[in-house]
Structures are given as C-alpha cells and as structure tokens.
Chain A
C-alpha cells in the first residue's frame, strides 16, 4: 500500500518530527544543560559586587546568584512602588524572598 500525503500533512509530519527530536534531546541531556543566557553572558564582565540595590539595572540584578528575571523584576517593581530601599532588610519584603534567600543575597548588595 502506498502512503500519500497532502502538502499540509507533509509539513505537519516534518514539524512534529523536529519537535520529537528536540523533546528526545531534552530527555537525554536534561533541561538544565540546555539553558543558555544570552543576556548574562554579555554583561558578566561589567558587574562589580556589591551592587547598589537602588540603582542596579535588570541586567546587573540577574547576575546575582539566586536572582533570575522574575526576582529582578520584582525588586525593580518594589523599588518603584516604595521610592527605593532605605535599608537592606527591606529586601525580605520582596515577594518570594524568605529568610534563607535573604541571607544568601545580603553579601551581594549595598545601599
């Protein structure tokens, strides 16, 4: 029996094959090894710790170990809403930063 595909079906099969290939790669290598940060690799050399919590940019904040894009955005948002941090202890008020994380982050910041 000869299989015949329409043009759309051919594209669909090709697309799904690539998806399946990508999925298999993730399964074999793991998600973590396939993370590549275009932003952080470019700005790594420019960051000097400790960072000023009130003036650090998004690109600088995401260089801090334990801070990704979401936390960096939350810190910037908090800074905007409260007109800046008056004390480093206020960092604990940022959503998602608990005691443990706060202690880890403390050496990387100054006011």
Chain B
C-alpha cells in the first residue's frame, strides 16, 4: 500500500481550522494573514522546505477562512430576503428537481426580483407543489414567499411560468430519472415502490419518514437514504455489467465515470453520494495509470474537495456520519490485514462502520443502535441482492418489458421477507439504547480513544505474529 500522506492531512486540518476560526467569529484572522505574508517572503528568500511547509499550512488556514466568509456573505444576503412575501422572482432552475415532503424541491439561481435584475450570484432552494413540468435549465418567473426554515432561507412557490428552456445536460438526466420513477410505479406495488424510489433514485416521501425512526433504532438508517453503500453497489453492478459485455480497459473506466456522475446527479448529490462518487472517480483515475492509492489519502482528498466546494458541508450530520463510517471501515480493513478470509473481512467492514458511527449517533440521535452490528451483518446481503435485482429491472425496462418484469417479480419475495422480519424485529425493546445528550468534545475524545485502542491492538497482534513467525524460523 502507498504511504499515508501527512502533507495532505496537515493541509486539510489547517483548512478546517480556517473554517472553524471563521465560524466562531471570535478569533481574528489578521495574525494569520501577517504570518502568511512573512512566511511567503521567508520562503522566497530562504527556499527552505520547512519554511515553505509552514507557509502552505498558513495558506490553507487562510483559504478555509476566506471560503467560509464568502459562504457566510451569501447566506447573509439571502437572510435579508427572508421577510419578503408575495414577490415575483426570475430565476434559472440549476439542480435536478427532487421530491421532498410531497413537494418539489429545486435549486434556483436568482436573476431578478420584482422586475429588477439581480447581479449577486445567489442560489436558494425553492419548493413548489409536486409537478413534473419544471426541469433543469428552465427560465422561470415565480410568485411566492421567502421563508426561513431551520436556518435556511427558502422560497415557497405559489405559481410559476416557464419563460424559456435553456440547454442543460441535467435536463436529460432528469428525464431519465422521471422515466425510471414511472417504471418503478409500474413494476412495483405501492408497498415496495416507495422503498425502491428512496433507495435507488433518492426520492423520499412521507412513507420513508414514517419508517426512518424504526430503521435508525435498528441501526439500518443508511439503507433508507442513498449512501456510499448504494453507490458502491451500483458501481460494482455496472462494473460487472460492462465486464460481462467484454468492454475493457480505459473505455470501461470512462463509461463507469460517466455512469457514476450521472447517478450522483439523479440521486440529488447528497453528501454521502458525492463522497462515494468522488472516491470512485479517484479510484478510476488511478486505475487508468495502473497505480495503487492509499485509501486514507483518497478519503482525505474527497473531504477536502467537498469542503472546498461547500465549506458548510463539514457541519452536516450526513457528511460526518458518512466519513466516520468510511474511516472505521478502512481502519479495520487495512490495519488488520488477513489475506483471503472474505467472511472475516465482511465482519470487519460491519464492525468498523458500527464502531465509528456510534459516537456520532449518540451525539445526533441521543442513543446507540445496540444490535446494529448484528442486523447489518444479517440484512446487508439480502439488501445487496435486492439492489442488484431492482437495478436490473430498471435498466432492463429501457430494453425489454418482459425482462424488467422478471427481475421485479423476482425481488417481491425478498422484499416481503425483509419487510416482515424488520417490522417484527422493530417491535423488540432495547434495540436502541437511549443515552443522555453529549457534547461534541466528548465525541471527539471518544474518537481519539477509539483510534488509540485500535492502534494498540494492531501493534499487539503484529508483535504476536512476529513472535510466531520467528519461532517458526528456529530449526
């Protein structure tokens, strides 16, 4: 395995520190700017490696600070609009519309308000009654109210009119999504369609909200919302499909990259999906050059990239849960190597994810899914099979209705068993251990202790293995 990049890790931590300085608003950034300037001069004069490293770290702090300040200024500009009611807006639909709480949610790039053009580059989320006629790239005139919900300024659309339709490749991806959603309605009964739509196409509704709590208590919430698990399964599904079609080499890599990007956009580009897609793309990129990568470096690079695009994302629960789960999985897989034992590897993956998600689950959901590890080990293979089945039926529906029906029908008994078992299990008490609220600093401390224990155990195991191999060498 390639070595862990301490430079990348250092830069990322420095960038996060910059964001935290900006968020706290207590500490001044002026000393950092002065130090940054001083070290720039020193690094030009001395051309010393250590001086350049310090300069780069200070630059990363500054970058984090400025990026978050820019984000804050946009949020402030939107907050000034939050009191406006019955206004007319002009805007461009810039995201793939998504169904949320039985409404249509889409990102709107504001271009004008009450017949006046706006120069500021403002994006906000708009909600309208559910309709399939609004598509990405549509130039709209909308009437409605601004509202502030959970610290986010949104626009509630009362009426809208499509002025023009501009070219956007997202429009075609959205049409594929609409077609797939329509096919899911035809292929699956209502009881399963909502689950398929949420877990494959990222369209959640009230049904999902009603069962989310129960899935959380069982430690299976990651099955309901599209997460890295789904992206991983989809990635392997298409990899397998392309391999079976004898598409090889770089063409396969390119096709996979396009499919993964398309899938990311279809599902609404939520943090876990973006994380998994970027990681998949990085792997594909290095695969092109036939070189191996350190998974921890890929994880840090992905987090860095995502926080560069949207610094606010590092405070989102989904981002933290997704990255902590991946960190746990990688630690278990790569720190405790056992060649060839696939079942043990599968256990390690489940254990790593469960261990590293538990502290954050305590912080966000005030409790821990006690049997989450066991349920994940038991249900994930069934769920993986279901994903493959459902995906086969959706992909096949573009080609042959009979094949699509075959795969859809094949999944019914597995859905039935999965739902019935989960429904009965969820009635058991003590699945979810409720705990008192905990501060974020305690959570950080738990992570430090957890990581230290893992490294200590790893060293003990290595020492024992070394003693064993040494004793084998003695004639």
Contact = CB atoms under 8 A, between A and B. Distances in A.
Interface of A: 8, 11-12, 15, 18-23, 25-27, 29, 31, 34-39, 41-43, 57-59, 62, 68-70, 72-73, 76-77, 80-81
Nearest to A37: B191
Given A36-B419, A77-B130, A80-B129, A15 B385 contact: yes
Interface of B: 102-103, 129-130, 185, 189-195, 205-207, 210-211, 214, 240, 243-244, 385, 388-389, 392, 406-407, 409-416, 419-420, 422-423, 426
A58 B207 CA distance: 7
Nearest to A67: B190
B409 A42 contact: no
User: Majority SS of interface residues in chain A?
Assistant: helix
A35 B409 contact: no
B409 A26 contact: yes
A80 B409 CA distance: 35
B425 to A, nearest CB: 12
A36 B207 contact: no
Contacts of A35: 189, 191-192, 412, 416
B185 A70 contact: yes
A29 B34 CA distance: 76
22 contacts: A8-B243, A15-B385, A19-B389, A23-B406, A26-B409, A26-B412, A27-B409, A31-B409, A34-B412, A34-B415, A35-B189, A35-B191, A35-B412, A38-B195, A38-B419, A38-B422, A42-B423, A43-B210, A58-B210, A70-B185, A70-B190, A73-B130
Given A18-B410, A23-B406, A34-B416, 18 more contacts: A8-B243, A19-B392, A19-B410, A21-B410, A26-B410, A26-B413, A31-B412, A34-B412, A35-B191, A35-B416, A36-B420, A37-B190, A39-B194, A39-B207, A62-B190, A62-B207, A69-B190, A69-B207
Contacts of B389: 19, 22
Given A8-B243, A59-B206, A38 B412 contact: no
A35 B194 CA distance: 13
Contacts, number: 107
A20 B210 contact: no
Contacts of A23: 406, 409-410
Contact of A22 (B103, B413, B422, B423): B413
B189 to A, nearest CB: 5
A38 B415 CA distance: 10
Nearest to B409: A26
10 tightest CB-CB pairs across the interface, nearest first? A58-B206, A22-B410, A19-B410, A69-B190, A68-B190, A37-B191, A25-B413, A26-B409, A34-B412, A80-B129
